[in-house]
A and B are shown apart, each in its own frame.
Chain A
Amino acid sequence: MLKGIAASEGIGIGKVIVIRDQDVTYEQKTVANPEEEVKRLHDAVDEFMVKTERLAEDMEKSVNPKEAQIIRGHMEMLEDPFMVSQMDDMIKDEGMCAEAAAETVLNMFKAMFEGVEDELIQQRATDIEDIKSRLLKILLGIAEADLKTLPPETVLVVGDLTPSMTAELNKDNVAAIVTESGGMTSHSAILSRALEIPAVLSVLNATATLRDGATVIVDGSNGVVINDPTVDEAEEYKKKQAEYFAEKERLRAYIGKESLTADGIKKDVFCNIGNPKDGIKAKEKDGEGVGLFRTEFLFMDRDSVPNEEEQYEAYKKVCDTLANKTVIIRTLDVGGDKEIPYMNLPKEENPFLGYRAVRYCLQNKDQFSLQLRALIRANADTSGNLWIMVPMITTVSEFKEVKAFVEELAAELDMPVPKVGTMVETPAAFMIADKLAKYCDFFSIGTNDLTQYIMAADRGNSKVAYLYNTYDPAVLRAIRQIIETGVEGGIPVGMCGEAAADPLLIPLLISFGLTEFSVSPTSVLKTRAEIARWSKAEADHIAETVMALETAEEAYEQLKSFVRG
């Protein structure tokens, strides 16, 4: 079994065809007639333009107009006055052959782009590599690898999938793609997702390990490639594949649609994300915003607190990705089960009841101000839909202190004050929710911690795991009361725990009046589909029955019979 990056979901089973990089080496020779050599270069450039335009047109039909723009960008890059004129100069002044002149100039731009501290522009270096290889092939008279006539059920194995390869691909015949390089945001990944072909990227030595004609299974959802599967494995994955297709077909109807209950009440389905790159996933999976951006990733796996600039870049990136959509960012939730060594938090008897999250931040205001300033700036420099969410609030004065601090920093920066709300996850916050609602711009219910605190049962302790249950009437009552209190106070209430995507709980949440469901990107369409199943009246009927029950088991069984019929 080989592992790589799960770049495009789905399961593909087929026979391997390895496409090896073609040899574009040439003999460096001094040219006798520079004028003729310049003409040879210009002819090649013209041919490049014609071929690329044709590729772009193919791509408009086979992929989509947006991806075709990538290819058209190649024409614009080569049309740059500096490009060909510099190549001409090298031929004329230094007697280089057209191949060497083209390679030298393109390599120079590639190095320039690679050296830039901007991911978008760094990625353009792969475009230049693509231009180079195609221009050299034209000059050398080498035919492009033929991807139009691949046999059905091909698993394409390549070093890197270039945009020009993708344009030619007969996608109906490609069961899956495996590459040796590329990450989640590479062209290969974006293109394979646009083509809806399962893909696993960055598989070490894939072109050497996987042999032409061998049967492989590519699990693009989990980043796994199984070489020569056993009969059992093949059966198992065929079943998974059928399930995946059936589910995808069912959910297709919900793509790009508003999230509405059966009787037309508008809800928001947002995403929970853990780093700026997940923002892209949230957008691609049709999330209507971000309901929880955990910022801990920025602070982990390093030796010191990230500076304001670094934080600003990360927050801004997500807001840019989800332009004009709400992005709720949670301030640092350190402590509890999340340890960050350089912060030197002392070992505690009861870390979940100890020095964590906002308690820590308010005692370390210098550090907290870096995060808040970065958030205020990111909000001011984007569409202004960044909301700040404060975790572990237990008292009104804690929240007022945070809010005053945000207002003070925003005044210093002369920037607007973002919306500030609280994550309702402690029993104390739930008991005083009406008071908190006066100061908060929104509530978000964190069901994981709320369940643990309401039930007084450590999530990680298997001896008391039987108590940790979101279906428990105590937890359901707390959820209902928080939502109703927020609604009465005129503020939006969201939920960012696993419960928001639970089909059994969705009718209850609709009945209680929840407006925003924040789920993992892969659950967006499923959640939208579940919301569409229920009208408010049906949901109220379910809630009335379930909320009268006495135990978690009864609630669970009752919900199951309502939801699964």
Chain B
Amino acid sequence: MVSKTMKLVNAQGLHMRPAQVFAAEMKNFECDVNLECNGKKANGKSLMMIMACAMKCGMEVNIQCDGPDEEAALAKAVELIESGFGED
């Protein structure tokens, strides 16, 4: 398993649209993706679970990937969060 903790930078946090982008990208990987944030856990491939965590800008999020393509999945997850999902 590989994991990384990072800060959310996009202004609105992981609300509907970024959560949807994130989940859709993660579904392309075979490995399990789990997020831990705000004292809650979420399956990283589930838009609904991610939204229910209400991750806001400035919060720390821990990403865990476990499976054959875990390295690639983590790299993609980090890239998405770092880019702020293309928001201002």
Measured in the bound complex, the distance between the Cα atoms of B62 and A513 in whole Å is: 53
Looking at chain B's contact residues, the main secondary structure is: loop
Q: Is the Cβ of A82 less than 8 Å from the Cβ of B49?
A: yes
Measured in the bound complex, the distance between the Cα atoms of B88 and A324 in whole Å is: 8
Query: What is the 8 Å Cβ interface bit string for chain A, positions 93-113, against chain B (1 contact, 0 not)?
Result: 000000000000000010011
Q: Is the Cβ of A77 less than 8 Å from the Cβ of B47?
A: yes
For B58, list chain A residues within 8 Å (CB).
381
B20 within 8 A of A: yes
Chain B: minimal CB distance from A107 (Å): 13
- Select which of A121, A124, A381 is within 8 A of B57 by beta carbon: A381
Which of A77, A80, A320 has the most CB atoms of chain B within a 10 A radius of its CB? A80
Q: Given contacts A82-B46, A113-B52, A323-B88, are A76 and B20 in contact (CB under 8 A)?
A: yes
Chain A residue nearest to B16 in the complex (CB) = A73
Query: What is the 8 Å Cβ interface bit string for chain B, positions 25-68, against chain A (1 contact, 0 not)?
Result: 00100000000000000010111110111101110000000000
Chain B: minimal CB distance from A483 (Å): 32
Q: Given contacts A81-B45, A82-B46, A383-B88, are A124 and B51 in contact (CB under 8 A)?
A: yes
Q: How many residues of B contact A (CB 8 A)?
A: 22
For B27, list chain A residues within 8 Å (CB).
81
Measured in the bound complex, the distance between the Cα atoms of B15 and A6 in whole Å is: 27
Q: Is the Cβ of B48 less than 8 Å from the Cβ of A120?
A: no
Measured in the bound complex, the distance between the Cα atoms of B45 and A82 in whole Å is: 9
Q: Is the Cβ of B47 less than 8 Å from the Cβ of A323?
A: no
Q: Given contacts A118-B13, A121-B15, A320-B11, are A112 and B20 in contact (CB under 8 A)?
A: no
Measured in the bound complex, the distance between the Cα atoms of B13 and A82 in whole Å is: 22
- Select which of B45, B48, B54 is within 8 A of A118 by beta carbon: B54
B12 within 8 A of A: yes
B73 within 8 A of A: no
For A117, list chain B residues within 8 Å (CB).
54
Q: Is the Cβ of A120 less than 8 Å from the Cβ of B15?
A: yes
Measured in the bound complex, the distance between the Cα atoms of B48 and A372 in whole Å is: 36
A343 within 8 A of B: no
For B45, list chain A residues within 8 Å (CB).
81
Q: Is the Cβ of B51 less than 8 Å from the Cβ of A121?
A: yes
For B54, list chain A residues within 8 Å (CB).
116-118, 121
Nearest first, the 8 A-B pairs at minimum CB distance are: A116-B54, A118-B54, A112-B52, A82-B46, A80-B48, A320-B11, A80-B47, A120-B15
- The chain B residues found within 8 Å of chain A, CB to CB, are 11-13, 15-16, 20, 23, 27, 43, 45-49, 51-54, 56-58, 88
A and B contact pairs by CB, cutoff 8 A, 20 listed: A73-B16, A77-B47, A80-B23, A80-B46, A81-B46, A82-B43, A82-B49, A109-B48, A116-B52, A116-B53, A116-B54, A118-B15, A118-B54, A120-B12, A120-B15, A120-B16, A121-B15, A121-B54, A316-B57, A383-B88
